Amino acid sequence: MTKAYSTRERIAKVWYKYRLDGFIFILPWIIGILAFQLGPMISSFILAFTRYDIITPAKFIGIENFKKIFSSDPLFYKSLWNTVYFVIGSVPISIIIGILVAVLLNQRIRGITIYRVLYYLPSVTAGVAVAIVWRSVYDVRYGLINNLLSKLGIQGPSWLGDPSWVMPSLIIMAVWGLIGQRYVIFLAGLQGIPEELYEAAEIDGASSWNKFVSITLPMLTPTIFFSLITGIISAFQSMFTAAYILTDGGGGPLNSAYIYVFHIYRNAYQYYHMGYACALAWILFLIVFILTFIQVKFSGWVHYGG
């Protein structure tokens, strides 16, 4: 005799089946997170309190690594300042240019898809190839920039040889590569703004500038906020490839391009101070976490449509 199930039991059975199916589908992702992200994070946190050089077993030393970072490591402050300089220079500029490019590419003109593809191409180009190309562009004698400046009667600087110009060179290169990512996000934000807002503004006699300031920017603030947070996080962690190739792995003259991730890399893979490198990495995590928390805390300027 077949057992009769109540409605509640049938619902619970179906719900359990679909829950199990969903869990099976996301199981590879869960394994990947545990094996390649959460596991290494826990391991690096433990190693941050040890003296470990890969060859010999790790030795627990408490907070000595952190004491050394703040008390007797001048390159920590130098690399941190260079990274902050890079973040301040690249993130706001890339956001501003990204908004302007998105506004231009939001027009209904012929061939707009081609322009969108061309602007996005730098974002999908391999980092090593881009760095090599920009290295030739920054060449003092034969570089494209200095050649153009010489035609205008201006002597171009030694982009990668002058300590005061190395970091601006990295920022210019980074902004060039980030425009594609930024404008795609802002373009999506622009296309989500209701057209009736612009129509109402036109009826009231608003100019293009007034519509941009009073409608476009306020409605884009959630997108700007997202780009600001992700941009700062990415800027603190990125640009290792470019800095390494443009400076031949030396950090530039007077360590002018010696960024924070480069300091972590050197301690981990050149000096084999793995415990010390893990401590540096966790300090970077705390810096990024605090900056993100501050941004979220003071996000009252963000306008959500509702």
Mean pLDDT of each 10-residue bin along the chain, 306 residues long: 58 66 83 89 94 92 95 93 94 95 89 89 84 91 90 90 92 92 92 89 89 91 94 89 86 90 93 95 96 93 78
Task: Give the pLDDT score at 91.
Answer: 95
Question: What are the structural domain ranges in the chain?
Answer: 7-60, 69-297
Q: How many whole angstroms separate alpha carbon 146 and alpha carbon 136?
A: 11
CA quadruple 217, 220, 221, 224: dihedral sign: negative
Q: End-to-end CA distance of the chain: give it in Å, rounded.
A: 57
DSSP letters, 115-129, are HHHHHHGGGGS-HHH
Task: Give the pLDDT score at 272.
Answer: 93
List Cβ neighbours of 2 (8 Å cut-off, separation of 6 or more).
Answer: none
| Architecture of the structural domain at 69-297 | Orthogonal Bundle (1.10)
Task: Give the pLDDT score at 1.
Answer: 45
DSSP letters, 215-265, are IIHHHHHHHHHHHHHHHHHHHHH--HHHHHHHTTTTTSGGGTT--HHHHHH
